[in-house]
Structure 1
Amino acid sequence: MIIPELSRSMLKNSLVLGLFAIVTVGGVTLLQQFTAERIQASERAAQLRALNEILPRDSYDNQLLDSSVLVQDPLLGTRQPMPAYVAMKNGQPSAVILQTIAPDGYSGAIQLLIGVQADGRVAGVRVVAHRETPGLGDRIELAKSSWIRSFENRSLSDPDASGWAVKKDRGEFDQFAGATITPRAVVGAVHRALQYFAAHKQELLAADRAPIAAEAAEAALEDEVEPDEVTTHSRAGAAATRDTLQTNDPQAEQEGRTQ
């Protein structure tokens, strides 16, 4: 008598646990489906806000996230394909936003968005991600200083090639007190992006080229940069993680930078 009762009890418990598992999995699945579109919309909105820091919304009339092409050149800081967003106004290309990498930052790669007007002038530059030291190199962020805006309306001829350097290197761009490596890397990346634009302007501004999906553009950047390289984000990027990942000693960095 005991064995049948025990069997029935075990069967009952198994059915209850199985039912609970089914309900739990179903609930999680429904929740993911319910929130997937909302999450995707939020991500696109964040990307668009980042791009709109480079180009004012009234300067183009196309869907910027859906008007991108993959470009590939060492001048962009990597040999891997990177997305370039092409802005259109009244059916004509008006500007391009390039995603580039300055590989020679003090603490690693610095990811940038660089907007270039059709006439070759810089529309704006924003730092997307970096791992530079707080209080020193992080002044490349617009939230920390206005230094990044010193590139606006500059071009390959303004200044000339020798002027595309920090003042410590006899150029025209300021460096930070006690921190030269970081601004030097950004200046170099912007200069190389302008060189790339000048060499490929016709292809970049071709109105009839085939666009790629925004998801493919994002995936291209994620494939290029390892997760441990992306540690700090400006307002143009995602949420920062500097509290847990920035470990440099500011005093030690200052001493190393001023040598």
Structure 2
Amino acid sequence: MKEIIKLGVILLIITSVAGLILGFTNDLTQGIIQERALAETREALIALLPEAEDFAIIDDEEMLSRRNILEVYEGISNGEVIGYTVQVNPQGYDGRIKMLVGISGEGRITGVKVGEHTETPGVGSKIADASFTNQFLDKSTEAEFIPTKGGETDDQYIEAISGATVSSEAAVEGVNSARSLFEEVLKNR
């Protein structure tokens, strides 16, 4: 019985020390991790709106309560808003897909960047490839985008990835969420 108590106390001490070390390490690295995440976000924002000199996050509950909208940034150049970058998270085949959608002040898609996702490697993950995301480039935000498998060529049609229909539809839904936010709210700010 004494031996069991002794082993229990030793185990308690070891786990307590390990927990303290892990907690200290987490506190120590948390700031660095957040700085790197902000730097990565800033790089993505610059890639989507390269003309912008600075970005300001829009903290508007009405916008953030809309479907799939996570964050909205204003791209600013010479003190004027030149466009917006909207972070969206549509539901994909195997979870949420984080995406950034750049929109110029004139209502043109300046780029789409797919971030974190859990789509099927080699199939659904192709939504992050330039061959898919570049289909949105320089298209107007006036009309809703429609995923297609039939090869339609009008501007609103986006060719779905073969074998990844759900992932393709989710990506198009994400861009449409950003598009409708721009058309209904941001355009008239």
TM-score above 0.5, yes or no:
yes
Percent identity between matched residues is 26
| SS of 1:196 mapped into structure 2 | helix
- Aligned-pair RMSD on alpha carbons? 2.9
Q: State yes or no: 1:165 paired with 2:146.
A: yes
Q: CA deviation at 1:72?
A: 2.1
SS for the counterpart of 1:193 is: helix
Q: Which structure 1 residue ranges, 5 or more long, are not aligned?
A: 1-20, 206-259
Where relative contact order (Cα < 8 A, 6+ residues apart) is larger, the structure is 1
Q: Tell me which amino acid in the other structure corresponds to 1:68.
A: I
Q: Return the alpha-carbon distance in structure 2 between the equivalents of residues 53 and 181 of structure 1.
A: 27
Q: CA deviation at 1:146?
A: 2.4
Counterpart of 2:58 (choices 58, 69, 83) is 69
Match of 1:241 in 2: none
Alignment of 1:179-218 (within 5 A): 179-201=164-186, 205=189
Please state how far the C-alpha of 1:37 moved relative to its aligned partner.
5.5
Secondary structure, counterpart of 1:173 in structure 2? strand
Give the Cα separation in 2 of the matches to 1:126 and 1:45: 15
| CA–CA distance in structure 1, aligned partners of residues 46 and 74 of structure 2 | 13
Q: Give the AA of the match of 2:132.
A: W
Secondary structure in 2 matching 1:133: coil
Q: Which amino acid counterpart does residue 122 of structure 1 have in structure 2?
A: I
The Cα of 1:102 is off from its aligned counterpart by 1.2
| Pairs within 5 Å for 1:1-259 | 38-56=32-50, 59-62=51-54, 64=55, 67-70=56-59, 71-74=63-66, 76-77=67-68, 82-103=70-91, 105-142=92-129, 145-157=130-142, 160-161=143-144, 164-168=145-149, 172-201=157-186, 205=189
* TM-score normalised per structure 1: 0.55
**Mean CA deviation greater in 83-92 or 37-46:** 37-46
Q: Could you say which residue in structure 2 is the equivalent of 1:18?
A: none
Counterparts of 2:31 and 2:47, CA distance in 1? 25
**Conserved in 1, the CA contact under 8 Å of 2:119 and 2:167?**
yes
TM-superposed deviation, 1:51:
1.8
Q: Which amino acid aligns with 1:72?
A: L
* 1:38, distance to aligned residue in structure 2 (A): 4.6
SS in structure 2 of the partner of residue 139 of structure 1? helix
* AA of the residue aligned to 2:58: V
Structure 1 residues 173 and 46: CA distance shift in structure 2, 3 A? same
In the superposition, the TM-score normalised over structure 2's length comes to 0.73
